[in-house]
Amino acid sequence: MKRIVCLISGRGSNLESILNTAESERWATEVPARVVAVISNRADAAGLAVAAAHGVPTSVIEQQRFASREAFDARLADAIEAHQPDVVVLAGFMRVLGSGFVARFAGRLINIHPSLLPAFPGLATHRQALAAGVRVHGATVHFVASEVDGGAIIAQAAIAVLADDGEESLAARVLSREHLLLPRCVRWLCEGRVALRDGRTVVGDLPSGALALLV
């Protein structure tokens, strides 16, 4: 049984997409894998209730209680390791993690970012995309590296930018792609179909075109 730990900071919609997919596709018997814990850096994160509704244990580790980033990272890493995870998912975790943390979980730490990386790393990605006038936008799942949003790409989902799109409408349509993309990548990682080798994503037995979701 592959063990998954998810980190969240907010509403938990990507977490919910993982949990719903795991239940609907019966991961426990087919992969097998399950989410064993959800950890948030915010006590008011709505995603904690999402996890509880699915019977997943939760905990909160707030960074403001620690004197330094390193101290927070160390406590968070210890809490994650207590669950013996095979995969750690940043499912809307709004906190930059230090190089020591990243190295500790290298090859099993993934993130979802709302742009087609390497375009528009960081925050306000939809605003950046609209300002740049791009015609295609989307989401990326990648292995986490020390460079923010700079890790090896696993898969991407793309959408057309419409003439009347604003930040809100563009964000909503990208989020719908995230909800399809992230559970798929989590499953592939649990199945050993994708892996990180020498800083690059290695792809195993996947259907042609599976790494790009175009809508």
Give the pLDDT band of residue 53 (cuts 50, 70, 90).
very high
- What is the per-residue pLDDT for 209? 61
Question: Do 81 and 153 reside in the same domain of the chain?
Answer: no
User: Are 149 and 99 within one domain?
Assistant: no
Contacts by 67-75, CB closer than 8 A, 24 or more apart: 69/98, 70/98, 70/100, 73/97, 73/98, 73/100, 73/101, 74/100, 74/101
Contact 102, 144 (CB under 8 A): yes
**Shared-domain flag, residues 122 and 178:** yes
Out of 53, 84, 105, a domain closes at 105
Could you say which of 105, 138, 173 is where a domain stops? 105
Could you report the per-residue pLDDT of 164-210, keeping only the tens digit for each?
999 999 999 999 999 999 999 999 999 999 999 999 999 887 765 66
Question: Do residues 86 and 139 both lie within one domain?
Answer: no
pLDDT, tens digit (0-9, with 9 covering 90-100), for 2-17: 999 999 999 999 999 9
Say yes or no to pLDDT of 213 above 70: no
Model pLDDT for residues 88-137, shown as the tens digit of each residue: 999 999 999 999 999 999 999 999 999 999 999 999 999 999 999 999 99
- The reply to whether 162 and 121 lie within a common domain is yes
Who contacts 80 (Cβ-Cβ below 8 Å, separation ≥6)?
5, 7, 37, 39, 88, 105
Whether residue 131 is found in the same domain as residue 39: no
Do 200 and 128 lie in one domain? The reply is yes
Q: Confidence class of residue 29 from pLDDT cuts 50, 70 and 90?
A: confident
Which of 54, 83, 113, 179 is labelled catalytic? Answer: 113
Nearest Cα residue to 36 out of 84, 94, 78: 84
Instruction: Provide the CATH number for the domain around residue 9.
Output: 3.40.50.170
- Does the active-site annotation cover 83? no
117 and 213 belong to one structural domain: yes
The reported pLDDT for the residue numbered 134 is: 97
* pLDDT bucket at 23, cuts 50 / 70 / 90: confident
| CA-atom Rg of the chain in angstroms | 17
119 and 215 in one domain? yes
Q: Are residues 27 and 44 in the same domain?
A: yes
How confident is the model over 42-51, as a mean pLDDT? 97
Task: Out of 72, 105, 138, pick the residue that ends a domain.
Answer: 105
pLDDT of amino acid 211: 66
Question: Are 77 and 134 members of one domain?
Answer: no
Instruction: Specify whether the backbone of 92 is left (phi greater than 0), alpha (psi in -120 to 50) or beta.
Output: left
Q: Are residues 133 and 72 in the same domain?
A: no
Domains contained in the chain, number: 2
Q: Which of 126, 143, 106 is nearest to 177 (CA)?
A: 126
Higher pLDDT, 29 or 99: 99
Quickly state the pLDDT bin for 212 (edges 50, 70, 90). Answer: low
Question: What is the average pLDDT across 131-145?
Answer: 97
pLDDT of residue 215: 46
The pair of three-digit structure tokens given for residue 152, joined into one six-digit string: 């090896």
| pLDDT score for 55 | 96
Q: Which domain holds residue 157?
A: 113-215
